[in-house]
Structure 1
Amino acid sequence: MTGAAVRTVLGDIAPEELGVCDAHDHLFIGSPALPGQELDDTGAALSELQAFAALGGRAVVQWTPWGMRRRTEELPGLSRRTGVHLVSATGMHQAKHYDERVLERVYGGLPGLFVRELTGGPVRAGMIKVAGAYHRLDDHARHVLAAAAEAHHATDAPIGVHLEAGTAALDVLHLLCDTHGVPARRVILGHLHRFPDARIHRQAAETGCFLAFDGPSRPHHGTDWRLLDSLAVLAEAGHARQILLGGDTVTPAARAGADGPGMPFLLGGLRPRIERELGPDVASAIFTGNPARAFAARWRQP
């Protein structure tokens, strides 16, 4: 993408500067639907980034959207202290993560809200994060996806999609791409490993979208043992340049500092296996080349 840039919390950078990337994770997040599971400790976030950087990690994309305690103002300092590029998100999650009064206040102006966070303010977002429902798109998801599409057309920002339990991937692509005209290459489907249907993965990949496999080795993900098989099927079908990996750390117990896998597991645990079983070229694409293309945009200022 000539003239493209990745929008980090410290400013825009050339895609090739992004480096080894955790393409979907969280340093800070909180929701009334998940009481007691907040990520809100700056020191723990710093330690996690330092451990990731020590293994060669150079970038982390925080998919925490608007209204979920992103602590956006702390991200520039963490980036400077660790040397890790950080990409922040705007967007909106499922309705259950918000107070109804908050939704009522912002619901009619979501496209403008997303655009403002992508293009203005002291810390600009570099992507839009939205969410589907389990095996379907409810009215809330359709509304937010439409707003994300409008914001994309105004800015060229990439759209990352939380697929609930990995489902409804093709419905999301149909709505975003066929109905709202978002190019598939600007869409990142998240959590595909939670619904390891190789046929659906291939069908989605054939559209040209990016496929994110995120949250490996979290205790409640019973499909993690199929991760390498899922990646191998896609790579063998010619889609290695569309695969992304992320840790999707969403609870304090999942962090490396609390004896969870955390961000470092991607590079200390998964990367050696991918290099050994799928080859160094595929590993390089997944961790470096693909994120550089997925999160780069030809940014427009409306």
Structure 2
Amino acid sequence: MSRVRTVLGDIRPEELGACDAHDHLFLRSPQLPGQELHDLSAARAELAAFRAAGGAAVVQWTPYGMGRRAADLPELSRATGVRLVCATGLHQAAHYDAEVLDQLHGTGLTELFVSELTEGIGTTGVRAGLIKVAGGFHALDAHARWTMTAAAEAHHATGAPLAVHLELGTGALDVLDLLCDELGVPGDRVILGHPNRFPDPVVHRQAAESGCWLAFDGPSRAHHVTDWRMPEAVRALAEAGFGDRLLLGGDTVVAGARSVDGGPGMPYLLRRVRSRLDAALGADLVDRMLTEHPGRAFAADWP
């Protein structure tokens, strides 16, 4: 039977509740110096604010080697009452030191992903519930192909869903060609992040035809086409018959974006984005995007 793998154990999909399907409690990268998400008390306050807004679950897409603080996630979940899903996987090469990547090339990436999904992350006992990988800007480089190949192999071994960072929303069809056509991952096991950052309705429909999930995320980023074009893009997909393939997330990646630090943060998804999408799509579909859809997208028949 399919279950969603949270940091406190596996649950039925319908138990997930209102879910931020793409966000970050902790994250560090050499690409974001001085903007790290690493403060434990701020993470707890952000989750509490999300809970107060009606949120029940957060899927953290922070992968291996980017400061995900897996050991702290169970207690955060217990303290706030918010269910948390943790990721394994690997981001773009630019987010890692060369020594880390050299070591992973030598030890086996597939084995790492499978171990973190089934046995746990290090000595924490926390098992990951998804694999996060990333494409490039309108292309897939050798690093992306390496990580996606390992992710596909780990999927075939475990059934885990694959979540993909689309760089500025681009490259969706290349990702699907590789993962689904070449590597045999079923479309409904792939979640594409950031399609709203490249709001091409034709590409959106072509991607949705694969059966994949489209995670519209990162609200209130003024330098991206997010809030003001999101209702239009989501409505177009729903009218084309793909309303059952849609997810919503916040994608908080720097400290200043947290609501407790003055940004929109996780609560914004429910406090502002939800009402705007209700007006464009109807509350019933938006409710499913926040509850039913994440339960289906992140569930797996775990070994």
Displacement, 1:224?
A: 3.2
Q: Is residue 112 from structure 1 mapped to residue 115 from structure 2 by the alignment?
A: no
Q: Deviations over 1:4-58 (max 9, x none)?
A: 0000000000000000000000000001121111000011101110011011100
Partner of 2:99: 101
Aligned amino acid, residue 79 of structure 2: R
Aligned amino acid, residue 145 of structure 1: M
Q: How many residues align?
A: 298
Aligned amino acid, residue 62 of structure 2: T
Q: Secondary structure at the match of 2:5?
A: strand
Q: 2:160 aligns with which of 157, 162, 170?
A: 157
CA distance in 2, matches of 1:141, 1:214: 21
CA distance in 1, matches of 2:286, 2:217: 15
TM-score (norm 1): 0.97
Partner of 2:286: 283
Decide whether the 8 Å contact of 2:215 with 2:246 is kept in 1.
Answer: yes
CA distance in 1, matches of 2:247, 2:62: 17
Q: Is residue 66 from structure 1 mapped to residue 64 from structure 2 by the alignment?
A: yes
State how 1:7-46 maps to structure 2 within 5 Å. Answer: 7-46=5-44
Partner of 1:50: 48
State how 1:163-242 maps to structure 2 within 5 Å. Answer: 163-242=166-245
Decide whether the 8 Å contact of 1:158 with 1:295 is kept in 2.
Answer: yes
TM-score (norm 2): 0.97
Q: Is residue 245 from structure 1 mapped to residue 251 from structure 2 by the alignment?
A: no
Displacement, 1:223?
A: 4.3
Aligned amino acid, residue 36 of structure 2: E
CA distance in 2, matches of 1:289, 1:274: 16
Displacement, 1:107?
A: 1.9
CA distance in 2, matches of 1:81, 1:48: 12
Decide whether the 8 Å contact of 1:218 with 1:254 is kept in 2.
Answer: no
Ranges in structure 2 where 5+ consecutive residues have no aligned partner? none
Q: Deviations over 1:59-91 (max 9, x none)?
A: 000000000000010000000001100000000
CA distance in 1, matches of 2:2, 2:37: 32
Q: Secondary structure at the match of 2:291?
A: helix
CA distance in 1, matches of 2:180, 2:105: 22
CA distance in 1, matches of 2:243, 2:81: 28
Decide whether the 8 Å contact of 1:245 with 1:286 is kept in 2.
Answer: yes
- Alpha-carbon RMSD across the aligned residues, in angstroms, is 0.8
CA distance in 1, matches of 2:114, 2:17: 26
Decide whether the 8 Å contact of 1:5 with 1:15 is kept in 2.
Answer: yes
CA distance in 2, matches of 1:157, 1:4: 11
Once the two structures are aligned, what percentage of the paired residues are identical?
64
Q: 1:299 aligns with which of 295, 298, 302?
A: 302
CA distance in 2, matches of 1:196, 1:72: 33
Decide whether the 8 Å contact of 1:88 with 1:124 is kept in 2.
Answer: yes
Aligned amino acid, residue 82 of structure 1: T
Decide whether the 8 Å contact of 1:198 with 1:230 is kept in 2.
Answer: yes
Q: Is residue 77 from structure 1 mapped to residue 93 from structure 2 by the alignment?
A: no
Q: Deviations over 1:167-208 (max 9, x none)?
A: 000000010000000000000000100000000000000110
CA distance in 2, matches of 1:228, 1:97: 31
CA distance in 1, matches of 2:72, 2:224: 30
Decide whether the 8 Å contact of 1:240 with 1:285 is kept in 2.
Answer: no
Q: Secondary structure at the match of 1:225?
A: coil
Ranges in structure 1 where 5+ consecutive residues have no aligned partner? none
Structure 1 runs of 4+ off > 3 angstroms?
none
Q: Is residue 126 from structure 1 mapped to residue 129 from structure 2 by the alignment?
A: yes
Q: Is residue 89 from structure 1 mapped to residue 87 from structure 2 by the alignment?
A: yes
CA distance in 1, matches of 2:224, 2:276: 19
Aligned amino acid, residue 67 of structure 1: G
Aligned amino acid, residue 229 of structure 2: R
Q: Deviations over 1:132-176 (max 9, x none)?
A: 010000000000000000000000000000000000000000100
